[in-house]
Amino acid sequence: MEGKSNNFLKRTIIIIIGVFLSFLTIFWKGFPFFIIVIIIALLGLKELDSIAHKRGYRPSYILASLLTLYFIVITVYDIHCFNYYIKNIIITFIIMITFIFQLLKKDYSKILAELSITIFGSIYLGYLLAFILKIKDLPNGNYYLISLLIITWANDTGAYLIGTKFGKNKIFPKISPKKTIEGSIGGIIFSIAGTFALKDWLNINFNELLSLGLIIAITAQMGD
């Protein structure tokens, strides 16, 4: 029991520090925040690459990084000097280079999986993460991002507390052996509660608050 308490304390301290630093960076304007998002994306990609290597796969981190950067740039800036065809040509070229790079390897047995990891990782960490920058550009975008962090933190805390105390039924034992159905439900409840706690800040109605809390909880748990 003491070990679990210490683990929770360490986890809480790390989260508080992370949230505090996130709050600081959110209020940075322009290019510095853009660089922060790119660094987060590349670090996430590196973590995905590390997980793949542990399972015996060798995706291309360099090419995945190029794809990730490309997705972030075109999603955020919607470069007008690049028309629809040029954008597609660029992404097709990078994907083809990725495919050729995989073909140069001696072991073809995992080529499809490694290609999928490279491309999907880029979309997941490039295209999706780029929407943080688009949210920031909205009126009151900084406060929306802070709300997103708080609700996500509430989900993580609820999932951990309820899962540790009551978790018995594994939700995806092969993918994430420590996560339970009870913990997942706890995360959803805490996420929705966090959303309602911010109702004056978000200025949306009951159904929208409920939907937002549910969507953030499910998305956060899938991403985790």
Predicted confidence (pLDDT) per residue in 31-69, tens digit: 778 888 888 888 888 888 888 888 888 887 888 888 888
Average pLDDT over residues 60-85: 74
- Pick the range with the lowest mean pLDDT from 4-8, 55-59, 135-139, 145-149: 4-8
Residue 82: pLDDT over 60: no
Mean of all residue pLDDT scores within the chain: 78
On whether the pTM is more than 0.95, the answer is no
Regarding predicted confidence, which is higher, 13 or 141? Answer: 141
Residue 163: pLDDT over 80: yes
- Distance (Å) of CA 101 to CA 8, 72, 92: 43, 23, 14
Average pLDDT over residues 126-143: 82
Percent of residues, the chain, with pLDDT higher than 90: 4
Average pLDDT over residues 152-165: 86
Q: State how far the Cα of 190 lies from the Cα of 100, in Å rounded to an integer.
A: 46
- Please, which pLDDT band fits residue 189 given cuts at 50, 70 and 90? very high
Which among 22, 1, 10, 6 is positioned nearest to 145, based on CA atoms? 22
For residues 116, 120, 122, 127, the Cα torsion angle rounded to the nearest 10 degrees is: 160
Average pLDDT over residues 111-134: 82
- Pick the range with the lowest mean pLDDT from 74-78, 88-92, 105-109, 140-144: 105-109
- Please, which pLDDT band fits residue 190 given cuts at 50, 70 and 90? very high
Regarding predicted confidence, which is higher, 39 or 175? Answer: 39
- Pick the range with the lowest mean pLDDT from 93-107, 149-163, 188-202: 93-107
pLDDT value for 67: 84
Beta carbons of 147 and 202 less than 8 angstroms apart: yes
pLDDT value for 161: 84
Regarding predicted confidence, which is higher, 190 or 105? Answer: 190
- Please, which pLDDT band fits residue 80 given cuts at 50, 70 and 90? very low
Residue 209: pLDDT over 80: yes
What is the CB-side half-sphere exposure of residue 64 using CA atoms within 13 A? Answer: 27
